[in-house]
Amino acid sequence: MKIHSLVFSPTGTSAKIARAIADGILQMKNDAGSFSDATRQPLRDSFGQEDLVVMAAPVYGGRMAPLAKERFRDVKGRHTPCVLVAVYGNRAFENALRDMADFARNRGFVPVAAAAFVGEHSYSSARTPVAAGRPDDSDLKAAGELGMAIARKVQVGSLSPVEPGSLRDEVSSEKSLRNFRNFVEEYQKQRKNAPVQYLPELNPALCNGCGTCAQACPTAAIGAKGQGLEAEKCIRCCACVKVCPSGARSFFTPFASVLAENFNVRKSPVWQIG
């Protein structure tokens, strides 16, 4: 069995988890796998029954990130076993794994394991930290162990299909959930009356034109030297903010402080193996 990782990962956390899981599988198999990054371009790979695909993407609004679906749209399996990995910012992954499972099955894959791991929230900043620094050593160790457990099943030929939609979030406190719900309702009401478009900002005094942000942007929304931003292309993934070496980029969203206040209790990874 050949191991292939397919990732969509603007800020790199889904990629880190996918690598750790794949490394865990490969450690047991003593083999080299392939790694394909769909963050900036679509993938068109086809796989068969002798392959095992690890597919990882972030959770956006409780679902699989829409651009990940576009990037993976032309990937095809033929009864190909796959490990589905949703990476979320410590709030909730909600329907993301069910969504990923439907998406993968429609393309010929058979989910044989599924996992939800926590990654630093795209909106996390020094002032409003949300799952800052994750995945950390403990998350990566867990991802490696998951990989090894999958490899053991592969070795004895006992991997079987799973139902990823049945994996549940670690539930936050009633108070946090209520605060967040109230905030979202209020936010949506306000937006109806006065739509606001939040976009990443650039502090020209700090920008040295290195273009690292442009290279990191999954939708090529930023000019080559960091200048300009095409608003309609921006998916607010915050890749530009996280990679800027001089701190010239920032993204304000009122969600950041609400998330930081209400989802600061560490959630652990969850998974199932068939």
Ligand X SMILES: Cc1cc2nc3c(=O)[nH]c(=O)nc-3n(C[C@H](O)[C@H](O)[C@H](O)COP(=O)(O)O)c2cc1C
Site residues for ligand X per CB under 6 A: 9-14, 58-62, 87-92, 119-122, 236-238
Nearer to ligand X, 14 or 80 (CB): 14
State in angstroms the smallest separation of the CB of 113 from ligand X. Answer: 19
Nearer to ligand X, 80 or 172 (CB): 172
3-state secondary structure of 215: helix
Task: Write out the two tokens for 208.
Answer: 């040295």
Cα–Cα distance measured from residue 111 to residue 166, given in angstroms and rounded to the nearest whole number: 12
Backbone torsions φ then ψ of 80, nearest 5 degrees = -85, 125
State in angstroms the smallest separation of the CB of 223 from ligand X. Answer: 21
Q: Do 91 and 52 form a contact (C-beta atoms < 8 A)?
A: no
User: Which residue number places its CB atom closest to ligand X?
Assistant: 119
Tokens 């990995």 belong to residue: 85
State in angstroms the smallest separation of the CB of 191 from ligand X. Answer: 15
Nearer to ligand X, 147 or 218 (CB): 218
Q: Do 63 and 96 form a contact (C-beta atoms < 8 A)?
A: yes
Nearer to ligand X, 104 or 118 (CB): 118
Cα–Cα distance measured from residue 59 to residue 118, given in angstroms and rounded to the nearest whole number: 10
State in angstroms the smallest separation of the CB of 42 from ligand X. Answer: 17
